[in-house]
Amino acid sequence: MPTPRRLTCQTCRSEEPHEPLTPKERDWLQGQLGNRVPDNYYKCVNNRPDGKVCLNLRTHSAEKHFRLTKRLPDALE
Ligand SMILES: [Zn+2]
């Protein structure tokens, strides 16, 4: 299983702590992308100045995995 690690974040423009997606987050992303999501996706868990968590998505190997940046919703049902 993937483990939390420090990776660069396209939105924060710095190296920040990242965590693998939860099953619920993977389901959400799968719905967005329309295909199966492998377990190499990470979310940035840096706390932004506005009090929210960044939640920008990337893969382990590619900081700019998406053509446009993509972030998880703040609260997943
Ligand atoms: Zn970030």
Q: How many Å apart are CA 18 and CA 5, to the nearest integer?
A: 5
Domain extents for the chain? 5-59
Q: Who contacts 13 (Cβ-Cβ below 8 Å, separation ≥6)? A: none
Name residues with Cβ closer than 5 Å to ligand 1, which is an ion. 9, 11-12, 16, 44, 46, 54, 56
Please tell me the distance between residue 69's alpha carbon and the centre of ligand 1 in angstroms: 10
Question: What is the per-residue pLDDT across 5-64, written as a single tens digit (0 to 9) for each?
Answer: 999 999 999 999 999 999 999 999 999 999 999 889 999 999 999 999 999 999 999 999
Contact 18, 58 (CB under 8 A): yes
Please tell me the distance between residue 68's alpha carbon and the centre of ligand 1 in angstroms: 14
- At 19 the pLDDT is 97
Q: Is the per-residue pLDDT at 68 higher than 90?
A: yes
Q: How many Å apart are CA 69 and CA 40, to the nearest integer?
A: 17
Please tell me the distance between residue 46's alpha carbon and the centre of ligand 1 in angstroms: 6
Q: How confident is the model at residue 77 (pLDDT cuts 50, 70, 90)?
A: low
- At 2 the pLDDT is 84
